[in-house]
Amino acid sequence: MIILNADKMTKRFGGLVAIQELDVSIQESSIHSIIGPNGAGKTTFFNCVTGFYRPESGRITFSGHNIGGLTPDRVVKLGIARTYQNIRLFPNLTALENIMVGLHPHLNAGFFGIVMGLPSTRHEEVEAAREAEKLLNFVYLEGKGDLLAKNLPYGDQRRLEIARAMAAHPKLLLLDEPTAGMNPRETQEMMDFIRHLRDQLGITILLIEHQMRVVMGISEIVTVLDYGKKIAEGTPEEIKSNPTVIEAYLGRGSAAEAH
């Protein structure tokens, strides 16, 4: 079943066409990677899906809802959460608070409920803290809940960002270069973790990745973008042997990394 579908989607910045008539379909419960050289439009695609940008034309549907042009807060409520290429945690909030902000759409307390300290509000708050704690453990950050996000080590920050995204109970999780800046061991851990996410929770994963080892290692389908256009799509094996891809992408100095 297709969970996310982009149909002839186009995004322009002035004269620059960042994404041109892109058609992409993401299968539910798959791990799908998007690759391409720098400036190919990968992150722009993420920004269009999550409501940061509004595509000029084309449709994006998520589980049957048209999400083109919705604001980010509406999109996340439908079940799409994301992480960022350069980690964007709330640096001066604690790890636990970061996750609890992620739970925001599932909490209902209003101004008066909070000021009055209604039992339902208190109950909700206790439950939220408990769930946040659970997510914290899920990303192997036990006991680090009271630390400020910015004081966590790099790998922990990456995983905390994923935990925060997961707090929204997403059906689709967009990960923008989750292994950027990681050493081989951390990269391997992150790959295992992403697989674990999908296998345990059934979350569909859409991934932007530069490390070919990761892309080939965990994705089931790979979409290749170049200059805002889709130039190839298929299993990792198909992509590896696709001449267009090799020319456009692997041929530009990344070939060595692929092997």
Footprint of another protein (CB under 8 A): 50-52, 71-73, 75-77, 81-82, 84, 88, 90-94, 97, 100-102, 104-105, 107, 109, 111, 114-115, 117, 121, 124-125, 128, 146-148, 150-151, 164, 168
Q: Which is nearer to another protein, 75 or 222 (CB)?
A: 75
Q: Which is nearer to another protein, 82 or 171 (CB)?
A: 82
- The least CB distance from residue 87 to another protein, in Å, is 10
Q: Which is nearer to another protein, 13 or 111 (CB)?
A: 111
Q: Which is nearer to another protein, 127 or 199 (CB)?
A: 127
3-class SS at 17? strand
- The least CB distance from residue 252 to another protein, in Å, is 31
Query: Are the C-beta atoms of 231 and 250 separated by less than 8 Å?
Result: no
- The least CB distance from residue 92 to another protein, in Å, is 6
Nearest to 169 by CA among 213, 138, 192: 138
- The least CB distance from residue 123 to another protein, in Å, is 13
Nearest to 35 by CA among 177, 171, 172: 177
